[in-house]
Amino acid sequence: MTGLRAAIRLAPGIALIASIVAIGAVGAAGQSARRPAGFAPARLSDGRTPDFRGIWQARGTAYVNIEGHPGARGLAPSRSIVVDPADGKIPYKADARARRQENYRTRATADPSVKCYQAGVPRATYLATPLQILQSPGNFAIVYQDNHAFRVFHPESRPHFDAADWWMGDTRYRWEGDTLVADVASMTDQVWLDQAGNHHSTEVHVVERYRLIGADTLEYEARIEDSVVYTRPWTLRTVLSRVTQPGARIVEDECLEDAQGVRRHVSPSDPRNLLRADYSRWTRPARP
């Protein structure tokens, strides 16, 4: 038990270091410093499957603009998390670039996230809210706090469900050693990749790679292919840190309209929680 406690106490420091190293390596894919050799993840009860369970969260602010953005009041700057091409820019075709600029101009109202829509893949991964990986031998699912979206990962032995355009896509996965490789298709073109209006079409095909590079650090990579919108496939990469606070949990994140008709996410533990003032028709004594 002593070893376990020590690991927990050290965890925030490890996660912080890992994050810094990862940010420093952006734009230089394949740097060996980010990839400590020989890290052996814990295993599930089958003694074989890498154990990715836990609550994870991106610490950066790439959710604002995955191509990078300067800092602002209360907002840390972010470098591009696009690692291929090396210039950190999404290789848009000309008309797709124009739509991106239009999205950017109207982002305050046009961002699907403003309308409480599910975030899509890969955007859900690097939001400002955590996600939880649920896992057991043969089962893998990710629950995102944002809009209580979730994805059930299905074994790759089955073909994609290809009869719909979904917000969170249709996911098939396999293990390559200790790396989980997920193939995502059947996604709508209504989702964005970030708050800056980066986008894709219904032809998008995402290959995700999840890999533990430390006990509390999960590397996430997404290769995004869409011949309608991009001139070539491109790749983003970031790291998620384990949320180690005792009692930490995914809280219910429901999106409601406030008195001004503006939709916003409200966490039940948020003191500004609208729910408490919303018993308009049926008021009862407050719970003790």
Partner 1 sequence: MRPVVLAAALCALVSGCGLSAQSADLPRLPDGHPNLQGLWIKSAGGFQGLFIGSLDGTNFAAPGGGRGDGRGGRAGGGPPAPAPYPYTPEAEAERQDRLKRGYEDPEARCHIPGVPRALDQPGGLYPVQIIQDEKQVALLHEAMHDVRIVPTDNSPHPKTYWAWDGDSRGRWDGDTLIVDVSNFNGRTWLDMAGNFVDENEHVLERFRLLDRDTILYEATVTDPTVFVRPIEMRFTLKRVPAEQQMLEYSCLEGERSLQHYTDEDGGRKRRAK
Ramachandran bin of 111, using left for φ above 0, alpha for ψ from -120 to 50, beta for the remaining angles: beta
- Note if the bond before 122 is cis, omega within 30 degrees: yes
114 binds partner 1 (CB under 8 A): no
- Residue 134: count of CB within 10 angstroms of its CB: 15
Could you tell me the smallest distance in angstroms from the CB atom of residue 38 to partner 1?
Answer: 27
Task: Kindly tell me which of 139 and 231 has the beta carbon lying closer to partner 1.
Answer: 139
In angstroms, give the least distance from the CB of 146 to partner 1: 11
Of 69, 87, 86, the C-alpha closest to 78 is 69
Q: Please give the single-letter amino acid code of residue 116.
A: C
Is the CB of 132 or the CB of 198 nearer to partner 1? Answer: 132
Give, as ranges, the residues between 48 and 77 that touch partner 1 (CB under 8 A): 53
Which residues inside 150-179 make contact with partner 1, applying CB under 8 A? 150, 152, 154, 158, 161, 164, 166-168, 170
**Judging by DSSP bridges, how do beta strands 170-176 and 150-155 pair with one another?**
parallel
Total residue length of the chain = 288
Cα–Cα distance, 120 to 115 (Å, whole number): 13
Among residues 79, 112, 178, 179, the one that binds partner 1 under rule CB under 8 A: 112
Q: Which two structure tokens, joined as six digits, stand for 244?
A: 């180690």
Q: Is 276 in the site for partner 1 (CB under 8 A)?
A: yes
Q: Residue 27: CB partners within 8 Å, gap ≥ 6?
A: 79, 80, 83, 86, 87, 88
CB of 192 vs partner 1, minimal distance in Å? 13
Of the candidate spans 71-79, 89-97, 111-119, 229-237, the one that interacts with partner 1 by CB under 8 A turns out to be 111-119
Q: Does 135 bind partner 1 (CB under 8 A)?
A: yes
Q: Which is nearer to partner 1, 117 or 234 (CB)?
A: 117
CB neighbours of residue 116 within 10 Å: 16
Site track 191-230 with partner 1 (rule: CB under 8 A), x = hit: ----------------------------------------
SS3 241: strand
Per-residue contact flags (x/-) with partner 1 for residues 232 to 271, judged by CB under 8 A: -----------------xxxx-xxx-----------xx--
Question: What does the angle CA 31 – CA 36 – CA 37 come to, to the nearest 5 degrees?
Answer: 110
Q: Decide: 57 and 145 in contact? Cβ < 8 Å.
A: no
- Residue ranges in contact with partner 1 by CB under 8 A: 44-45, 53, 112, 115-118, 132, 134-136, 139, 141, 143, 147-150, 152, 154, 158, 161, 164, 166-168, 170, 188, 190, 249-252, 254-256, 268-269, 273, 275-276, 278-279, 281-282, 284-285, 287
